[in-house]
Structure 1
């Protein structure tokens, strides 16, 4: 995974920190899972499953640390995980960096 930078609160770029850590066989975990709209990053369309999926599938983290165990457990049993990209439903699609930037008024 690459750590993402912010611009006006939106994710717009990445670094290679996670790649370097994993190259040294260090596990990388994320701890940013939220369920409330007020704290859920808009970059993930205010959807905790999209956020988890972006880090697990898109960034290839080793694990997720969260206070919302039911959300993480439901994600783990999602039958869409592991489908080929051409069969993955749109709601399981990965978010791309800066996807919401064109919608912002600066």
Structure 2
């Protein structure tokens, strides 16, 4: 049933399954930020995406054992949420260690 839903989504949106993972990963990340009322520096939205993706891959592996495909799916799904988390944390750390520079930039 889940595979049928994925096929329907890829056909309707005219996306590959890889692109669907990327878009859904970002969508879940943004939704988790809003639902949990945490900023992108919080690990909670990132963990939400990871949990959804691991459950998805576990269900996929139950139907078809393809570990290399599962790894690609996890990487595709987690890439941009991971980039957003790292950039937000680096930016926050920079702001905390250089408060005078931020005022100069304004």
TM-score (norm 2): 0.30
Higher helix share: 2
Higher strand share: 1
TM-score (norm 1): 0.30
